[in-house]
Structure 1
Amino acid sequence: MSLFSDNIRALRVKHKISQEKVAESLMITRGRYVKYEDGTSEAPYEILKKIGQYYQISIDLLLSVDVRKIEVTDLLKLENNRLILPIQVDQMGENRIEVVTQKVKAGYLNGYADPEYIEQLQQISLPFLGVGKYRGFPVEGDSMPPHQDGDIIVGRYVEGLGEVLDGKTYIFITRSEGMVYKRLNKNNKNALVLASDNYFYPPYEVKASHILEIWEYQCSIARSDKRTEALESDTIKNMFVELKKDLAEVKNSIGLTN
């Protein structure tokens, strides 16, 4: 039997539903349904979709995760039968925040949709964040000052591209760029332009179809008290003005004119 067969049998037994009733809900015969449950026949996409909707669980989980090992009621359900995320709470009922450390970062692109992988991540609790699904991600490089290597960005899960706002910062999980923390520069219909706060790094475009998850910045956890020099636009402008004055003085001193 396949994992899918085990899953649909386990879900049916857990809900105390007969094979006849499930088949009727799927608008197929009981004999056809039995073949899916005993693994002698593979269900087509339309049947997979109907079963997912029937049990309110994503197709990804039905095909790739042993649902007998997780508590389905503790999962965050998303619209259109998309992936679902595990929500864990502590003894006080506060949401637990999973932290993707540098050590496990490489495996996140493969494990982000796997509740068993997520449950193995380190966890913290930040009650002041309020309602929502939160997760912590590591910072790399110097593209987003004042954040430094080793800092953790805590983001709130964003369900759709329609919720992102130009000028705000987000953790983007993408097929093309991996995990990045950037400021949204421009929100196009089919692509997003991501920019760094460090002007040394040029903006770049990511196709909307390549985006797997978006987490909106909520707070950060810094591991260093190192002082950073903020280069604001006015400061940079003043630097060029002073440089222009110095060049003019040099020209005058050696008798050069414009």
Structure 2
Amino acid sequence: MKTALPIEVIRFKEIREKLNHTQQSFAEVLGVKNSTADIERGKSKISGSILIALIEHFQINPLWLYGKSTQQKLNTTIDTSPKVLTVTPENNEGIVLVNVKAAAGYPHNIQDLDWYEELPAFTIPLPEYRNATYRGFQVEGDSMLPMLHPKEWVLGKAVESVNSLKNHTICIVVMHDTVLVKKIQKHDSNEHLSLISINPDYPPITIQTHQIQELWEVQSKISSELDESAGNIALSQIQQTLVALKNEINQIKNNN
């Protein structure tokens, strides 16, 4: 008589098949020699190291695996929403401005209400800035050139978690010891993110998501500098167009 397989074996195989892994490729991910065939036949037990790998790579709930829970995955969502909200004297939510100097202390004062009161705040009476929390940060360094210049300001919209963020979005990333403005590249695993600079002189930085305290999606920027070259470029384009048009007219006359 054929013995029924334990529930953890059945669910182990279910995980592998759902992830479209072969027994060999799944074994490589989990650090198992050769393949997972013996586990799926019930000949080998699921060891502690395999269980840890299932949690780390796929957020599998061990209680679900052993039939003690209906929730297959662990909730590993990290809260990146603002730790403090500010209100103006008019009882509106204000946009706090964090300059370069203040940004150095921001991660360490992230929940200090008195510290926020020392920072300037304002409101923008436009529809797109309603029903959401925004914060302004001053850009430091040249890692985001040519899009963002040093001393410009970016306005970020609060993000509740990395999961709700679109890939390749530019964000203000508040970690435990620094504040960075970077493009976000999400990994297949929710455990890591890459922070990408637009300036190619700066290599990508890979961080663990648990290092993030707050996340702000950049929506707009405030700049006190005008691009003087923009007008010259536009004038040059007009001149080139006129020259091309003149040459075309002369060619038509010569053909006639």
With the shorter chain as reference, the TM-score category is: 0.5 to 0.7
Give the Cα separation in 2 of the matches to 1:175 and 1:103.
16
Q: For the Cα contact (< 8 Å) 1:155–1:217, is it kept in 2?
A: yes
Matches within 5 A, 1:92-171: 93-128=91-126, 129-144=129-144, 145-171=146-172
TM norm structure 1: 0.52
Aligned residue number for residue 183 of structure 2: 183
Q: For the Cα contact (< 8 Å) 1:134–1:156, is it kept in 2?
A: yes
Cα offset for 1:107? 1.4
Cα offset for 1:86? 2.3
The residue type paired with residue 125 of structure 2 is P
Give the Cα separation in 2 of the matches to 1:194 and 1:104.
22
SS of match in other structure, 1:172: strand
- Count how many residue pairs are aligned between Structure 1 and Structure 2: 148
Gaps of 5+ in 1: 1-78, 230-258
Change (3 A) 1:87 1:167: same
Q: For the Cα contact (< 8 Å) 1:87–1:133, is it kept in 2?
A: no
Give the Cα separation in 2 of the matches to 1:151 and 1:200.
20
TM norm structure 2: 0.53
Give the Cα separation in 2 of the matches to 1:159 and 1:89.
23
Larger gyration radius, structure 1 or structure 2: 2
Give the Cα separation in 2 of the matches to 1:154 and 1:201.
23
Q: For the Cα contact (< 8 Å) 1:153–1:217, is it kept in 2?
A: yes
Does 1:225 pair with 2:226?
yes
The residue type paired with residue 134 of structure 1 is Y
Change (3 A) 1:89 1:192: same
Cα offset for 1:113? 1.2
The residue type paired with residue 85 of structure 1 is V
Cα offset for 1:127? 2.4
Cα offset for 1:170? 0.4
Q: For the Cα contact (< 8 Å) 1:184–1:195, is it kept in 2?
A: yes
Cα offset for 1:89? 3.2
Aligned residue number for residue 235 of structure 1: none
Aligned residue number for residue 41 of structure 1: none
Does 1:85 pair with 2:95?
no
Give the Cα separation in 1 of the matches to 2:173 and 2:186.
14
Cα offset for 1:157? 1.2
Give the Cα separation in 2 of the matches to 1:110 and 1:175.
7
Give the Cα separation in 2 of the matches to 1:123 and 1:115.
14
Identity rate of aligned residues, in percent?
A: 27
Aligned residue number for residue 47 of structure 1: none
- Which of structure 1's runs of 4+ aligned residues deviate more than 6 A? none
The residue type paired with residue 186 of structure 2 is K
Cα offset for 1:227? 5.1
Per-residue CA shift, 1:177-205, capped at 9, x if unaligned?
Answer: x1100011234410111101122212120
Matches within 5 A, 1:26-41: none
Change (3 A) 1:185 1:96: same
- Larger relative strand fraction: 1
Q: For the Cα contact (< 8 Å) 1:96–1:123, is it kept in 2?
A: yes
Q: For the Cα contact (< 8 Å) 1:170–1:216, is it kept in 2?
A: yes
Per-residue CA shift, 1:58-108, capped at 9, x if unaligned?
Answer: xxxxxxxxxxxxxxxxxxxxx98x9742231352x5421110012322211
